[in-house]
Chain A
Amino acid sequence: MPASPPPHSRRWSLNSRATRGVIYQVIALALLALGLWYLAHNTQLNMRARGIQSGFDFLGANAGFDIGEKLIDYDPSQSYGKAIWVGVLNTVKVAIAGIVLTTVLGVMLGVGRFSRNALVRGLCYGYVEAFRNVPLLLQLLMWYLVFIELLPAANEAWAFGGLVFLSKGGLSFPWPTTGVGAVLGGLAVGAVAGVFWRRRVQKRFEATGQDGDRFWAPLAMLVAFALVGWVVAGMPRAWSVPEQLAFMVDGGMALTPEFMALLIGLTMYTASFVAEVVRGGIQSVSRGQDEAASALGLNPRQKMKLVVLPQAMRVIIPPLTNQYLNLTKNSSLAVVVGYPDVVSIANTTINQSGRAVECIAIIMLVYLSTSLTTSLVMNAYNRRMAIKER
């Protein structure tokens, strides 16, 4: 039976500490709001006095400029709002790809620091020191120069089997023209099903000691669901295959040198920090754990996977989140290598429309929401990984 609340009636009194606390909070909040209002109002007055137009109505106006790289259909007769959205998606694209690659590379490097092989250890150490200590801006420029200086011109691209082309114009490869979404959707469903399968196997293993298949069944699920997606989409068979034209390689899917330079630059740079985060996490696991694992007869791989990493994760995740956020925010350097991210497009918009304050506000909002989303996801993961006291 739940305990009833104590019969304590609180009188509203200025002498009460709680009441005064509330009043102070309200006053502080009001002052803050007033200050913000004053800043906004003053800016508006000054802008109006100088004949600078303001407001967000420009977002609906015709943008008029083209964007070299886009994930959605966009043409110059569409609005500034759409153009900025194209930029947001470009930012998200490079951020997601960067986060995935950085995690893989960073974890490999971090674990590599504990390798028994001196060469691997030394290489990982050297990598971290080299990439961590050179400014990202320089690294981006370096990668971009490597791409555009060393690769052949777009009219004489290196062809691999007549299907894949590599040149200053980028990396082009065949790509299905339709049904990509359905197949990807199928893959996603398959992945979820696979995870559930593995969980069930694990549960049974813990309960009965009987191990089941953890690899082939999930793989089969992936393939099966992808196939279902393909069938649902109407079994499209059309592929867009790149071909060599006078100035360029056209068709298929293309990764531009700008995108690749930015992605590789961000990944290599951030991975050096992630490696250190992983190393710190692993070192935080006490030596006794390692020895105990050895005593159980686990091999080094099993020790790392089953004993050390799970414990290291709770030390690793919070700083890892920071690195993901850094990577996303650093992608705003894209403009130096000509990649049309949200900052680049907003800058163009500022120059065409003159709405500097509004565009900067939009940029801030975009980074704020991507960063908050990232931390939300990572915090949820962190809670799952935290030590559960039962």
Chain B
Amino acid sequence: MKSPSQKLTALALCAAATLLALPAHAGKDVDAIKKRGELNCGVNTGLPGFSAADSQGKWSGMDVDVCRSVAAALLGNADKVRYVPLTAQQRFTALQSGEIDLLARNTTWTLTRDASLGLTFTGVNFYDGQGFMVPKKLKVNSAKQLKGATVCVQSGTTTELNLTDYSRANNLGLKPVVFEKLEAALAAYASGRCQAYTTDASGLASSRAKDMAVPDDHVILPELISKEPLGPAVRRGDDDFAAIVRWVGFALIEAEEYGITQANVDQLKSSSTNPSVMRILGMGNEDTGKLLGLDKEWAYRAIKAVGNYGEQFERHVGPKTPIQLPRGVNNLWTKGGVLYAPPIR
């Protein structure tokens, strides 16, 4: 057995090592991801349009495209992603503990989460609001008519809080039944245990299309009871990585604004004379990547891999998909929406 003094020395050394390791060494997450050659990305366990795996295990959706575009910019290959499906409960712990590098899982950006969970939100990839879905046969056409109703909810979300606030503000006396798993909450709603199911409107549309036996038997009520800006988050402490994720997001919005698409990006890269386009694609002397610790073609690769923001929207959740969401506020600022990316320059 070691003598107490040896033990003490060892402990002191451990403590010292912990203390020394504390100052946030800039770029440690970026270094770790590059060294690993793979981005660990936390996604929803199954929310079509945002993050869902097909029968071959291939992930797709708006949130999945965040992972793919960051991997393309940082690692040069959009497929170098390991997807970690997470429930609402698990997501923050997974990020805090380092199990994932990037959380791209329809997570609402709120002050409390931003300031107290040890993470940094890098932007918004979908502006959403919480709504209600009810069976058509209840003949309810406004959330205000749900007096005394039981509402199925998934635990660990801002949804629970908004539901409570709305119920109290309108004196509705709504009764929550809280499930850990999305599937369980939906099953209880589908069986009629709850008169309504509530989550973000995008999630309602997605679940109605995928999980309801007859989607037309259910209506989504017009009221949106909250603001839900959904966006990716990274662990606090590596500003370099946060900046990369943030600017990849901005680049995809800028790309839409300047008409750069997955289809024409190669052609534009060889021939465009528009200075903005040239800057985004890293042509000529313009090296936007250097400041982020990336190479010149970071944004080019991201656009090539997943398309611009508008293309992603159309592909995953737009009117031509089963989810059928209108572009609404998620349109460019030039087209009546709120998407306004700071300039890449």
Which residues of A approach B to under 8 Å, CB–CB? 27, 30-31, 34, 38, 41-42, 45-47, 49-53, 64-68, 76, 145, 148-149, 153-154, 168-169, 245-248, 250, 256-258, 335-338, 340, 344, 347-348, 350-354, 356
Contact = CB atoms under 8 A, between A and B. Distances in A.
Given A66-B163, A352-B160, A354-B117, 20 more contacts: A34-B11, A42-B14, A52-B96, A52-B116, A65-B160, A65-B161, A65-B176, A153-B192, A154-B192, A168-B191, A168-B192, A247-B138, A247-B149, A248-B149, A335-B155, A335-B179, A336-B179, A338-B188, A352-B161, A356-B96
A351 B161 CA distance: 11
26 contacts: A27-B4, A46-B18, A50-B236, A50-B237, A52-B96, A53-B116, A65-B176, A68-B175, A68-B176, A145-B191, A148-B191, A153-B192, A169-B150, A169-B193, A245-B148, A246-B148, A247-B138, A250-B148, A258-B177, A337-B179, A344-B178, A351-B92, A352-B112, A352-B161, A353-B116, A354-B112
B296 interface: no
Contact of A51 (B157, B185, B237): B237
A31 B165 contact: no
A365 to B, nearest CB: 20
A248 B192 contact: no
B240 to A, nearest CB: 16
Contact of A65 (B164, B187, B195): B164
Chain B, interface size category, equals 35 or more
Given A34-B11, A64-B165, A336 B193 contact: no
B180 A257 contact: no
A175 B272 CA distance: 78
Q: What are the nearest 6 A-B pairs in CB distance?
A: A351-B156, A52-B118, A50-B118, A148-B193, A354-B117, A148-B191
B235 A50 contact: yes
B113 interface: yes
A353 B117 CA distance: 8
B227 interface: no
A30 B146 CA distance: 60
Nearest to B157: A351
Which of B177, B235, B237 has the largest count of A CB atoms less than 10 A from its CB? B177
A148 B192 contact: yes
Contact of B161 (A31, A64, A245): A64
* Interface of chain A, main secondary structure: helix
B92 A354 contact: yes
Contact of B191 (A50, A149, A354): A149
Interface in B169-211: 174-181, 184-185, 187-188, 191-193, 195
A337 B149 CA distance: 19
Contacts of A352: 112, 160-161
A68 B177 contact: yes
Given A64-B164, A65-B164, A68-B175, A47 B89 contact: no
A200 B14 CA distance: 67
A348 B156 contact: yes
Contacts of A64: 161, 164-165
Given A348-B160, A352-B161, A356-B93, A148 B188 contact: yes
Contacts of B116: 51-53, 353-354
Nearest to B19: A45
A148 B186 CA distance: 12
A336 B161 contact: no
Contact of A76 (B93, B148, B164): B164
Nearest to A153: B192
B262 interface: no
Given A49-B24, A336-B179, A247 B148 contact: yes
B167 to A, nearest CB: 7
A338 B178 contact: yes
Contacts of A248: 148-150, 195
A352 B18 CA distance: 29
B329 interface: no
A163 B165 CA distance: 33
Contacts of B150: 68, 154, 169, 247-248
B236 A168 contact: no
Interface in B220-242: 235-237
B317 to A, nearest CB: 25
Most buried by A among B152, B176, B187, B237: B176
A351 B155 contact: yes
Contacts of B11: 34, 38
A111 to B, nearest CB: 37
Contact of A67 (B176, B191, B235): B176
A256 B116 CA distance: 35
A258 B11 CA distance: 49
Contacts of A258: 177
B36 interface: no
Nearest to A248: B148
B227 to A, nearest CB: 16
Contact of A31 (B7, B22, B149, B235): B7
A154 B156 contact: no
B88 interface: yes
B344 interface: no
Contacts of A256: 177
Contacts of B320: none
A343 to B, nearest CB: 9
A169 B149 CA distance: 10
A248 B150 CA distance: 8
A389 B15 CA distance: 57
B12 to A, nearest CB: 10
B168 interface: yes
Nearest to A349: B156
B29 to A, nearest CB: 12
Nearest to A355: B116
Contact of A347 (B138, B156, B165): B156
A338 B179 contact: yes
Contact of B177 (A51, A336, A338): A338
B179 A42 contact: no
Contact of A348 (B8, B155, B177, B184): B155
A351 B88 contact: yes
Given A47-B118, A51-B237, A354-B117, A347 B180 contact: yes
